[in-house]
Amino acid sequence: TDLENVISVLPDLDVNVRHFVHDEDFTCERDTVTLEIKLDRHHVSEGKTAPPVHAPFFPSAAKEEYWVILKAEDVRFSPWEMIMTKITDQSKLVTTEMKFPAPPKAGKYKFTVHLISTCYLGIDHEIKFDLQVESAAQLPEITDAYAKDDLEAETALEATFGASNVDSDVSSDEEEQQASTS
């Protein structure tokens, strides 16, 4: 029946979000934070794509799409009020990322992710999360990549083998030309 056909194409979604800073265990002032949004369409079979939306009076087939809006709850401490991206991928499992700057001061900040359908009313999702921002002054000190021992060992190798692998500013053609004129 028509009702069963409509119900079979209505989106049934799981939405998960997580935030992180690449190669870090915590978020620091002004870090670039990545927000990962995972969308799982339960109404789509594995390996298939989402069917066209149910819109019998629309002049052409419409695709299921979503706006993802990241909103900072306290804009006094955020250089932006909201960031948006659009999900147009029709796959069963969709992962997208948004990058945003962490607030400039240490503290706990509240954010909301809104997933808004472009085609259906009443299936929007709202996910709230807290972002703990640490003070940059409390970061551990970064040590030099070359320790004193490494530099001494490198100097000893240069003394033993010389700097024969160092390129000169003179090419081999120019060297030959200089040798023939001498």
Residue 20 has pLDDT above 90, yes or no: yes
Give the closest residue to 54 by CA, choosing from 66, 63, 67. 63
pLDDT at res. 95: 97
| pLDDT at residue 176 in the model | 63
What pLDDT shows up at residue 7? 82
Please tell me which residue, 147 or 61, carries the higher pLDDT value.
Answer: 61
pLDDT tens-digit readout, 34-78? 999 999 999 999 999 999 998 888 899 899 999 999 998 876 666
Of 124, 84, 85, 131, the residue nearest 106 (C-alpha): 131
Alpha carbons 27 and 108: distance in angstroms, whole number: 11
Give pLDDT, residue 8.
80
100 strand-pairing partners: 33
User: What does the pLDDT read at residue 73?
Assistant: 84
Q: Chain-wide mean pLDDT for the chain? A: 83
